[in-house]
Structure 1
Amino acid sequence: MNRSIQNVYCVGRNYRLHAAELGNAVPDEPMIFLKPSHAVAALDGRELPLPADRGEVHFEGELVLSVGRTYEPGMKVDELIDGFALGIDFTLRDVQSVLKQKGHPWTAAKGFKNSAPVSAFQPFPGTAELEKYEFTLAKNGEELQRGNIRDMIFSLQEIVDYVAEHYGLGEGDIIFTGTPAGVGPAVKGDTFELAWKDEKLGSCRIG
């Protein structure tokens, strides 16, 4: 899948335990924010430079969907999505805390360069198949996150329906579907590996 990425939609607080670990309320509808397409980088073992002078940077491992066609009302996920990958939503957590207090948008905390690295996309196996296996994130060889889309507050279908209705969905859009519990800081020299059903899909090193 070599198409260029268009819109980068992200779902916040889509796992109850993650919302709880940050002291956030569970939303009653999908919480959507965007990252610039320039934030996307390849999780192919390369070194990724991240801001080192703006407070803590946190990692959030996520399942990422690739939209293969223009959404039409009533369309099922398995018709719309043609690929999946694993990605990391890097977040400037201290910056985000200040933005929340001021009621400002999250772009400064979420949209910086290299804040949305993604593994190579795999053919979408269908929602039922994805539900059979868990995805994981390991930092420096230690597993810190393990998630399954069955545990999401809003299902894949609810997410695509909501995003399409409010913002539109078309070929080339990708969706970060939310992170399970276990997020934490990332510092220079840390290595990350992401896997689905224990098969490594992507990795990087923080520069």
Structure 2
Amino acid sequence: MQQIRNIYCVGRNYKLHAEELGNDVPTKPMIFSKPTHALALAAGGEIELPGSRGELHYETELVIQMARSYEPGASLKQMVDGIALGIDFTLRDVQSELKKKGHPWLLAKGFKNSAILTSFHPFPGVEGLLQKDFALLKNGEQVQRGNIGNVIFDLATLIQYIGENFGLEKGDIIYTGTPEGVGPVSDGDVLTFLWGDENWGEFTAKLR
């Protein structure tokens, strides 16, 4: 895995997810970031997460990593190095209070271990992505399933928007948005990532 310097996340990039939380569907990408200490690898062990700040929700996402710095006109094959699956963990009660006050989401989104990642795999191109769904199992039962074909803003649009407004460099990653089905995590839950029928990684949530 390349060194990760910047973590960008896309909010409300699946229409049904925006609607399930009662949010407006955006007309341009909603971008926020997480600090790098939020990263944690889904490698079969326990991952500590906050358990005393209200409900903690999983948001499963396809994650892409940049092969090079953003350059207008470059193809996705040139710019994307690999794909992974991840969770953008969210303290939902904290986020709701922040939204009411019009404050940034960092307290709800940027805590330690809030950005879970599997290992990265070679980028198969957009056609390859469309051929497989990604999914999350909680204790062996599917709780989320998505396909990159259902996003509001596609990968090329996201890369262009983020690259032009914030900058993108080699190794930077983008959490591309979560489909519907987000929900709470409890202490001891085992969370498993599937790419098609392949197990790409899992971990046990340890709430403290």
User: Could you tell me the TM-score, scaled by structure 2's length?
Assistant: 0.98
Question: How do residues 118-129 of structure 1 correspond to structure 2 at under 5 angstroms?
Answer: 118-129=117-128
Amino acid in the other structure paired with 1:82? D
Measured after TM superposition, the shift of residue 108 of structure 1 is 0.2
Measured after TM superposition, the shift of residue 92 of structure 1 is 0.2
Aligned to 1:89: 88
User: Equivalent residue of 1:206, what SS?
Assistant: strand
Distance of 1:80 and 1:101 partners within structure 2: 38
Measured after TM superposition, the shift of residue 38 of structure 1 is 0.6
Aligned to 1:137: 136
Question: How do residues 32-181 of structure 1 correspond to structure 2 at under 5 angstroms?
Answer: 32-181=31-180
- Aligned-pair Cα RMSD in Å: 0.6
Distance of 2:172 and 2:45 partners within structure 1: 24
Distance of 1:163 and 1:78 partners within structure 2: 17
Aligned to 1:184: 183
1:67-116 deviations in whole A, cap 9, x for unaligned?
A: 11011111122210010000001100000000000000000000000000
Amino acid in the other structure paired with 1:75? A
Distance of 1:52 and 1:81 partners within structure 2: 35
Contiguous gaps of at least 5 residues in structure 2:
none
User: Equivalent residue of 1:178, what SS?
Assistant: coil
Amino acid in the other structure paired with 2:156? Q
Distance of 1:75 and 1:29 partners within structure 2: 21
Aligned to 1:206: 205
Amino acid in the other structure paired with 1:63? L
Identity of aligned residues (%): 57
Aligned to 1:30: 29
User: Equivalent residue of 1:194, what SS?
Assistant: strand
Measured after TM superposition, the shift of residue 197 of structure 1 is 1.3
Amino acid in the other structure paired with 1:195? L
Amino acid in the other structure paired with 1:98? E
Distance of 1:201 and 1:188 partners within structure 2: 22
Measured after TM superposition, the shift of residue 19 of structure 1 is 0.5
User: Could you tell me the TM-score, scaled by structure 1's length?
Assistant: 0.98
Contiguous gaps of at least 5 residues in structure 1:
none
List structure 1 runs of 4+ shifted beyond 2 angstroms.
none
